[in-house]
Chains A and B, each alone.
Chain A
Amino acid sequence: MSSSNDELERSGRQLEARIKKAFGRSLAIREVDSGSCNACEVEVNALTNPIFDIERFGLHIVASPRHADALLVTGPVARNMEHALMQTYLATPDHKIVIATGACACSGGIFKDCYATTNGLDKLLPVDVYIPGCPPRPQAIIQGLMVALDKMKEKAGHSTTSSKRLLDNDNGASGVAHDVF
């Protein structure tokens, strides 16, 4: 019993170190509801409550797209929201990443093939990370954000050659989120 606990503890600590590396930077997230049923919003809101508390990883949900590094989009992109979503996307500074959260944003989900919706966010915007689920539970969104941070590093790597070299050397961190889970 105690040995297995020790083992758990040890693997937990190893994991912790790797996760801290993945969360090496902060990330400002702007959430956009493009027509979800509100369940995804409830789960994203839950991320900031004392139980999940993503602020401890340096992840912030910000009030304006102009402050954001990442757009977390929920919903199947309702026709009436397309314009507002594009405006929000354009207002977000570059090297932004787009996270499609929930079945609706990934593919249109149960609302697909309808006159008022689009079949998923990637029909309109380049999507960097997909988080499936209806709705994805808060833990699943946290894992998705870890993947997003990883992607963020990759993206930043493409921008300038000097930082690319630096990040390439740091590749121990990228892909961590994925192969661990």
Chain B
Amino acid sequence: MLETIRKGVLKKGVVTDRYPYVPYMPYDGHLGMPMVDEAKCTSDKVCEQVCPTTAIRFAPGQLSIDLGLCIFCGECARRCPHQAIIMSKEFELASKRREGLVRFYVVQQ
């Protein structure tokens, strides 16, 4: 048992992540919150069609992404012909209100 503890605890050292004391930076290509580049979006609604959970909705002049519905699959970012959506590294999204999960963007009509 002593041997186990020596090998396990002393040799391994501390492995615990410092989060939340130190911010965590996800790797490149992380499937985090989808973000829209309002300037690039042409409202061609490709993302709305490919979204498997109807999280992306278009209204005239406005695009909304409901993070409560979003399954972070990255399909919208891959299929957008203008690269107007990217999967950001943002992952700290918890909210006290359901409405707090909806992100709005102003896009051209």
Residues of A within 8 A of B (CB): 8, 12, 15-16, 19, 50-53, 56, 103, 106-110, 112, 120, 122, 127-134, 136-137, 139-140, 142-144, 146-148, 150-151, 181
Contact = CB atoms under 8 A, between A and B. Distances in A.
Interface residues of B, number: 29
B70 A103 contact: yes
A110 B93 CA distance: 19
A142 B24 CA distance: 12
Given A106-B101, A130-B101, A139 B53 contact: no
Interface in B1-48: 15-17, 19-22, 24, 26
A103 B53 contact: yes
Contacts of A106: 67-69, 98, 101
Contact of A12 (B15, B22, B100): B22
Contacts of A103: 53, 68-72
When A and B form their complex, which 5 residue pairs have the shortest distance between CB atoms, in order from nearest? A144-B94, A106-B68, A134-B71, A181-B92, A107-B68
Contact of A15 (B20, B52, B68, B96): B20
A112 B15 CA distance: 39
Nearest to B90: A181
Nearest to A103: B71
Given A110-B53, A140-B92, A144-B94, A12 B21 contact: yes
A146 B20 contact: yes
Contacts of A131: 93-94
